Amino acid sequence: MIILGINCFSHDTSACILVDGKLLAFAEEERFNRDKHTKRFPFQSINYCLETAGIEVEAVDLVGLAHKPGLDFTRAMLDILRRLPRSWRRLFIQPAVDLSLYLKKPFFRLAQGYTGKVVFVGHHEAHAAAAFFASPFDEAAVLSIDRGGDYLSTWLGVGKGNSLQKLGAVRQPHSLGEVYAAVTDYLGFRPNSDEGKVMGLAPYGDKTYFNKFKRLLKSDNKGGFKVDLNYFTYYLKQGWYDANFISQFGPKRLKGEEIGLRHKDIAAAVQHVTERTGLGLANFLSKTTKSKNLCLSGGVTLNSCMNAYILKNSDFEEIFIQPAAGDAGNALGAAYYLWHCVLGNERVEPMAHAFLGPEFSNEEIQAALETRGLNWQKLDDIENQCARRLADGKIVGWFQGRSEVGPRALGNRSILANATLPETKDIVNLKIKKRESFRPFAPAIMEEYAADYIDDYYPSPYMLLVQSIKKSLRTTVPSITHVDGTSRTQSVSKQTNPRFWKLIDSFRKESGVPVVLNTSFNVQGEPIVLTPFDAISTFKTSGMDCLAMGDYLVEKDQ
Ligand SMILES: [Fe+2]
């Protein structure tokens, strides 16, 4: 049985393929078309999935599209009618949105020449399935927190074996993701893209606005929360926030305006209520399900500080966060939902890693290097050679194996640097990433040593938990330690990424420290590189010192 899962709902379109319940391939369209958070139908991802499975589209038994247009329409229209006349714009927008969603089914059939069955799967059911069925747990509480999908912002449920049961939901416009996106816009960043910047800014702020923000977003302790809609306009399709918001918190930060204390305090406040609201939802699930396992998905669960706060403060002992927690993950969720919940098949295997995208052979890499006229060396110890260069303070582009799915580079399309040197952060920023100076860089740490460096260490293979670096070691790894002593850690396993593990191990032998700085292989505003040609372009136009692709090493000063 072959199932193709597709997310073509809105942004971050993607596709995956399940063969008898086994995940063979999973990729995001932005990596192919180079348009970050793309909304384009994911034809290139679909073709990649079919090629990986070695089949033509006719061989697919079932296609899942991760949205449910009818549901969305009914729920949204009821809300729009209740809020007239303020919501009048949406009276026209909503039918158009739903029509476009309905049309995706015939559009896919026509474009691919597919005559088999195509099924719509609910947005949050897809998020929930992507978290639970990918997890190693036989049973777990499941929480999806989002901006919105099928007119729900939040979905609470429980997974057991091959089933998912809904226990509650929060309807839009009450949405944690929308509030966070609104504040992202208010602080002069790009909503639905730069939320991580707000999270990175938050530790610089203090409690000044905590109480005011708590009044904007209130948990009901029954698995729900309410947003004070008098302060926001996102649900009216008229910008993000109301004049009331401005009168409470002051003017919006303009593009290029210096970040002041007020901006930092507002970032701290929205992060504070996000963490408390997330914990409130998790606590409800903990009480209701009595499970010790929690699965998270939905765009808000890319907030690694919130995830860590929930793990630390709830009764849950184990956590699994879908690495493609945003809407890209819903391709997988739709496929899993059909395989397990609709067809009733048993679990096959958990998702062991996120390296599910395209890979390129040494021959393809060499051909790309020659086409671009670069001098290269072919090495049989590329890990040792790169570790030595990292120890010397060089910045290394690291391109290996299959590309990662999800927004984090996990050691196959990464830029690596020496975390022990205090100047590394500024150098990587200045030469390559051109990011705001307040944003932290993340560490990749060998899992065998992680507990030595991290307080209350919990495995974080997908860089989705912020954890505290032990006080005594913060000066050992200054470039990856944030202002509050935390770090968005990635624990690296020899089993799932042997080459990256070996590189860090070689660096450990050089420097005594089993940690490297790991940031995504891209420049600001671009998707993570996918092909050797993408990597070469980014290498050439940025300040990286070396590029390691497969067994090939290119050095800039040669
Ligand atoms: Fe979503």
CA 299 to ligand 1 center in whole angstroms: 6
Question: What number is the average pLDDT over the span 104-125?
Answer: 95
The reply to whether 179 and 114 lie within a common domain is no
CA 38 to ligand 1 center in whole angstroms: 14
The reply to whether 273 and 401 lie within a common domain is no
Residues 6+ apart with CB under 8 A from 92: none
The reply to whether 98 and 242 lie within a common domain is no
pLDDT grade, residue 69 (50/70/90)?
confident
Determine contact, residues 544/364, Cβ cutoff 8 Å. Answer: no
Cis preceding-peptide flag for 173 (omega within 30 of 0): yes
Determine contact, residues 521/414, Cβ cutoff 8 Å. Answer: yes
Question: What number is the average pLDDT over the span 25-36?
Answer: 97
CA 154 to ligand 1 center in whole angstroms: 9
Where a domain ends, among 62, 95, 125?
125
What are 108's two structure tokens?
């896919």
Does residue 333 belong to any structural domain of this protein?
no
Does residue 496 belong to any structural domain of this protein?
yes
CA 104 to ligand 1 center in whole angstroms: 17
Q: Is the dihedral of CA 236, 238, 239, 241 positive or negative?
A: negative
- CATH number of the domain bearing residue 56: 3.30.420.40
- CATH number of the domain bearing residue 550: 3.90.870.20
Does residue 130 belong to any structural domain of this protein?
no
Query: Which percentage of the chain shows pLDDT scores above 70?
Result: 100
Determine contact, residues 163/368, Cβ cutoff 8 Å. Answer: no
Q: Cα separation of 554 and 385, whole Å?
A: 11
Q: Which ranges constitute the DSSP H helices of 43-84?
A: 43-53, 69-82
Amino acid of residue 342: V
The residues facing 145 across adjacent strands are 154
pLDDT of residue 83: 85
pLDDT of residue 163: 97
The reply to whether 189 and 115 lie within a common domain is no
CA 177 to ligand 1 center in whole angstroms: 9
pLDDT grade, residue 97 (50/70/90)?
confident
The reply to whether 17 and 143 lie within a common domain is no
Tens digits of residue pLDDT in 431-452: 888 888 888 899 999 999 999 9
Does residue 336 belong to any structural domain of this protein?
no
CA 149 to ligand 1 center in whole angstroms: 6
CA 123 to ligand 1 center in whole angstroms: 6
pLDDT for residue 237 is more than 90: no
CA 373 to ligand 1 center in whole angstroms: 43
CA 225 to ligand 1 center in whole angstroms: 18
The reply to whether 7 and 100 lie within a common domain is yes
Where a domain ends, among 125, 156, 180?
125
Q: Cα separation of 438 and 264, whole Å?
A: 10
Determine contact, residues 546/554, Cβ cutoff 8 Å. Answer: yes
CA 9 to ligand 1 center in whole angstroms: 9
Tens digits of residue pLDDT in 316-328: 999 999 999 999 9
Does residue 203 belong to any structural domain of this protein?
yes
Domain residue limits at 74? 2-125
CA 108 to ligand 1 center in whole angstroms: 21
Q: Cα separation of 530 and 259, whole Å?
A: 33
Does residue 340 belong to any structural domain of this protein?
no
CA 297 to ligand 1 center in whole angstroms: 8
CA 259 to ligand 1 center in whole angstroms: 30
CA 6 to ligand 1 center in whole angstroms: 13
Question: What number is the average pLDDT over the span 253-278?
Answer: 96
pLDDT of residue 236: 87
Determine contact, residues 262/205, Cβ cutoff 8 Å. Answer: no
CA 122, chain centre distance (Å): 20
Does residue 7 belong to any structural domain of this protein?
yes
Determine contact, residues 405/358, Cβ cutoff 8 Å. Answer: no
The reply to whether 67 and 117 lie within a common domain is yes
CA 144 to ligand 1 center in whole angstroms: 8
CA 181 to ligand 1 center in whole angstroms: 13
pLDDT of residue 46: 98
The residues facing 227 across adjacent strands are 217
The reply to whether 189 and 149 lie within a common domain is yes
Q: Cα separation of 515 and 492, whole Å?
A: 10
CA 500 to ligand 1 center in whole angstroms: 31
**Strands ordered across the beta sheet of 163-171:** 163-171, 152-160, 139-149, 293-297, 318-321
Kindly tell me the burial class for residue 506, based on how many C-beta atoms sit within 10 Å of its own C-beta (0-12, 13-18, 19 or more): buried
Where a domain ends, among 105, 125, 145?
125
Does residue 131 belong to any structural domain of this protein?
no
Of 483, 464, 463, nearest to 474 by C-alpha is 483
Tens digits of residue pLDDT in 284-316: 999 999 999 999 999 999 999 999 999 999 999
Three-state SS at 144: strand
Determine contact, residues 128/253, Cβ cutoff 8 Å. Answer: no
Determine contact, residues 520/415, Cβ cutoff 8 Å. Answer: yes
CA 320 to ligand 1 center in whole angstroms: 17
CA 368 to ligand 1 center in whole angstroms: 37
Tens digits of residue pLDDT in 368-406: 999 999 999 999 999 999 999 999 999 999 999 999 999
Long-range contacts of 255-263 (CB under 8 A, 24+ apart): 255/188, 256/188, 257/188, 259/187, 259/201, 259/436, 259/438, 261/205, 262/208, 263/187, 263/188, 263/201, 263/205
pLDDT of residue 441: 92
pLDDT grade, residue 513 (50/70/90)?
very high
The reply to whether 168 and 111 lie within a common domain is no
CA 449 to ligand 1 center in whole angstroms: 35
> If phi over 0 gives left and psi between -120 and 50 gives alpha, with beta otherwise, what is residue 165?
beta
Tens digits of residue pLDDT in 147-157: 999 899 999 99
CA 459 to ligand 1 center in whole angstroms: 25
**Residues around ligand 1, an ion, CB closer than 5 A:** 146, 149, 327
Q: Cα separation of 524 and 194, whole Å?
A: 11
Query: How many distinct structural domains can be found in the chain?
Result: 3
CA 189 to ligand 1 center in whole angstroms: 20
pLDDT for residue 558 is more than 80: no
CA 280 to ligand 1 center in whole angstroms: 20
Beta strands in 228-326 (DSSP E): 293-297, 318-321
- In the block, residue with structure tokens 């509050």: 484
The reply to whether 121 and 145 lie within a common domain is no
pLDDT of residue 94: 84
Q: Is the dihedral of CA 470, 476, 481, 485 positive or negative?
A: positive
CA 57 to ligand 1 center in whole angstroms: 26
CA 153 to ligand 1 center in whole angstroms: 8
Strands 465-468 and 139-149, how do they pair? Answer: unpaired
CA 392, chain centre distance (Å): 32
CA 147 to ligand 1 center in whole angstroms: 7
The reply to whether 462 and 522 lie within a common domain is yes
- What H or E segment, with its residue span, contains residue 245? helix 243-249
- What H or E segment, with its residue span, contains residue 120? strand 117-120
Average model confidence (pLDDT) for the chain? 95
pLDDT grade, residue 84 (50/70/90)?
confident
Q: Cα separation of 319 and 458, whole Å?
A: 9
pLDDT for residue 273 is more than 70: yes
The reply to whether 76 and 143 lie within a common domain is no
